[in-house]
């Protein structure tokens, strides 16, 4: 499988591992693409799982609508439902950052399509919104800045400029910043990636509790996600649930802690308890 369609949009995917294995769908966040998972897919494939990592809406060249409302959460979630329906079987769903928010939403509304959920960095949407009443609001300042039309795109034009420095300040390695420059800015994916933030005013859909086995993964060095929302996450799961805290790691867990993240995904998929905090 190299692509799938949802209505008029075509999405690129990276499909690896045994074709007869249980499927793990990997949803990237901002500002990354399917390549952010490449450090851990081999581990999942060796364990017998087939991994499907899509370039999501705004990132795939064939799926870059222009309107803000086209990036509302229901549409982002429907893309993933279309992928799962194309695959024709329930999946283990994994998401990081924005991909985590989409994974929570898909799992909450379509539990019949999901075997297990592993959410990385970003908690259940209702827990996140409640945390915005506290310290999370200050950590999410950039969400407001990204609403400005064209300004973030202009700031990102110059290599080594404001946007690149912001990525480094947020914990990205030089290689990850280079990948951001190549895959997001130079490839024209930045407006689509920002569309996820600009679509927030159109994303009023509530998110019910999740009813499938779930693991939440968070890191103590995450500058973007406050602990309060993470700790409240279990209140929104009506199924076996674990919180795994990675000490000292920053926000970019799939690319910087691939072995640890792969281990958590496998433990959840196989139903093996971890040691939550």
Neighbours of 135 (CB within 10 A): 13
Q: What is the pLDDT of residue 271?
A: 87
Q: What is the mean pLDDT of residues 106-119?
A: 97
Q: Is 80 exceeded by the pLDDT of residue 277? A: no
Q: What is the pLDDT of residue 274?
A: 58
Q: Is 70 exceeded by the pLDDT of residue 275? A: no
Residue in the structure block whose two tokens are 């769903």 = 93
Q: What is the pLDDT of residue 273?
A: 61
What does R_g of the chain's alpha carbons equal in angstroms? 17
Strands (DSSP E) contained in the chain are: 3-6, 9-16, 23-27, 50-54, 91-96, 114-120, 214-219, 241-246
Q: Is 50 exceeded by the pLDDT of residue 99? A: yes
- pLDDT more than 70, % of the chain: 98
Domain ranges of the chain: 3-270
What distance in Å separates the CA atoms of residue 167 and residue 123, rounded to the nearest whole number?
22
Q: Is 60 exceeded by the pLDDT of residue 205? A: yes
What distance in Å separates the CA atoms of residue 73 and residue 75, rounded to the nearest whole number?
5
Q: 3-270: which CATH number, 3.40.140.10, 1.10.230.10, 3.40.50.1820, 3.40.50.2300?
A: 3.40.50.1820
Q: Is 50 exceeded by the pLDDT of residue 276? A: no
Strands 9-16 vs 3-6: parallel, antiparallel or unpaired: antiparallel
| Residue 51 tokens, joined | 């991994």
What's the predicted TM-score (pTM) here?
Answer: 0.96
What distance in Å separates the CA atoms of residue 215 and residue 193, rounded to the nearest whole number?
26
Q: Strand order of the sheet with strand 241-246?
A: 3-6, 9-16, 50-54, 23-27, 91-96, 114-120, 214-219, 241-246
Neighbours of 166 (CB within 10 A): 16
Taking CA 104 as the corner, what is the angle to CA 99 and CA 110, rounded to the nearest 5 degrees? 115
Supply the mean pLDDT for the chain: 94
Does residue 26 contact residue 32 with C-beta atoms inside 8 Å?
no
Q: In the structure, what pLDDT confidence band is assigned to residue 30 with cuts at 50, 70 and 90?
A: very high
Taking CA 45 as the corner, what is the angle to CA 41 and CA 47, rounded to the nearest 5 degrees? 120
């Amino acid at each position: 499988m190299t692509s799938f369609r949802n209505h008029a949009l075509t999405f690129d995917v990276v499909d690896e591992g045994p074709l007869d294995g249980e499927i793990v769908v990997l949803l990237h966040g901002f500002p990354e693409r399917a390549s952010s998972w490449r450090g851990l897919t081999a581990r999942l494939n060796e364990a017998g799982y087939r991994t499907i990592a899509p370039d999501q809406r705004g990132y795939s060249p064939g799926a870059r609508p222009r309107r803000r409302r086209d990036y509302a959460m229901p549409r982002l979630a429907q893309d993933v439902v279309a992928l799962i329906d194309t695959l024709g079987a329930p999946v283990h769903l994994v998401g990081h950052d924005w991909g985590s928010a989409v994974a929570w939403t898909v799992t909450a509304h379509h539990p019949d399509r999901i075997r297990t959920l592993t959410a990385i960095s970003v908690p259940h949407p209702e827990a996140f919104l409640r945390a915005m009443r506290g310290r999370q609001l200050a950590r999410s300042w950039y969400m407001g800045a990204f609403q400005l039309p064209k300004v973030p795109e202009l700031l990102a034009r110059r290599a080594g400029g404001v946007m690149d420095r912001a990525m480094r300040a947020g914990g990205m390695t030089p290689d990850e910043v280079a990948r951001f420059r190549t895959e997001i800015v130079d490839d024209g994916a930045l407006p689509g990636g920002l569309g996820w933030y600009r679509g927030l005013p159109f994303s009023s859909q509530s998110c019910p509790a999740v009813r499938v086995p779930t693991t939440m993964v968070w890191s103590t060095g995450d500058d973007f996600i406050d602990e309060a929302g993470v700790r409240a996450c279990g209140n929104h799961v009506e199924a076996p649930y674990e919180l795994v805290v990675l000490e000292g790691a920053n926000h970019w867990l799939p690319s910087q802690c691939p072995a640890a993240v792969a281990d958590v995904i496998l433990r959840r998929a196989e139903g093996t308890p971890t040691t939550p905090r």
